[in-house]
Amino acid sequence: MNLILLTEHDLITDEQVQLDDRRFQHIRMVHKPEVGAHLKVGMLNGLLGTGQVLALSDTAVTLQVSFHKTPPPPLPLTLLLALPRPKMLKRILQTVAAMGVKELYLINSYRVDKSYWGSPVLEKQIMEQLLLGLEQAGDSIMPQVHLRKRFKPFVEDELPHLVEGTRALIAHPYHAVPCPPAETTQTTLAIGPEGGFIPYEVEKLNEAGFKSIHIGERILRVENAVPALLSRLFPV
């Protein structure tokens, strides 16, 4: 937790917050600040700033907060990701949030096991995992996550509007060109499930304007492909 993320509900006055939950435990056990110390804080979907420790007890911490810094710039990206299995989904949500993705579509694909759509992670933990990623990276802007359980209507009806005017790419190592150089260009990137998109799905994405790219001969797991691709597609 490199950043303590706050919401309006934490405010006890205009400039003070009191925390007694997970964030308090983390501050007490990991940061172990003296009274007077400064911690990095951020207002969820707002500015970053500092929180000075006013009081620290066994049950709560009180911070004097001020906000003055804009969060890191978002990636100019809409990411389409075939829904991963629940355990991997948790990590990927953290990764996506940590790396600055702000628009994530979790989509269906032939190789997505139907049971994944019933996972408790999807129902209850999306926000929690994204928060962990933001806290790690030092960002305050919550990504938007959209669930699309039906591939065909999504690709035919919604996707053409999403990709308009963007660099549209599928990470798909067959009949693919090497990943293009880093650019600050609005991009739509589709990443398939373990085992990849099936030919029909690739064809539909190609029809919607997506170009197949690869990042080498090696086949990476989705959890590695995501940081590898995002790192390569956008400049520092």
Question: Which residues here bind a copy of itself, judged by CB under 8 A?
Answer: 2, 72, 94-95, 98-100, 136-139, 178-179, 214-221, 223-225, 227-232, 236
**Shortest gap between Cβ of 227 and a copy of itself (angstroms)?**
4
**Shortest gap between Cβ of 168 and a copy of itself (angstroms)?**
19
**Shortest gap between Cβ of 223 and a copy of itself (angstroms)?**
8
**Shortest gap between Cβ of 207 and a copy of itself (angstroms)?**
26
- CB nearer a copy of itself, residue 148 or residue 214: 214
- CB nearer a copy of itself, residue 153 or residue 216: 216
* Distance, CA of 70 to CA of 180 (rounded, Å): 29
- CB nearer a copy of itself, residue 2 or residue 57: 2
**Shortest gap between Cβ of 180 and a copy of itself (angstroms)?**
10
- CB nearer a copy of itself, residue 8 or residue 217: 217
Please say whether the beta carbons of 188 and 165 come within 8 A.
Answer: no
Please name which of 68, 61, 11, 7 lies closest in space to residue 31, comparing C-alpha atoms.
61
* Distance, CA of 225 to CA of 152 (rounded, Å): 24
- CB nearer a copy of itself, residue 18 or residue 125: 125
Sequence-separated (6 or more) residues with CB below 8 Å from residue 10: 17, 18, 19
* Distance, CA of 102 to CA of 130 (rounded, Å): 10
Task: Indicate the burial class of 152 (C-beta count within 10 angstroms; 0-12, 13-18, 19 or more).
Answer: exposed
Please name which of 159, 156, 179 lies closest in space to residue 169, comparing C-alpha atoms.
179
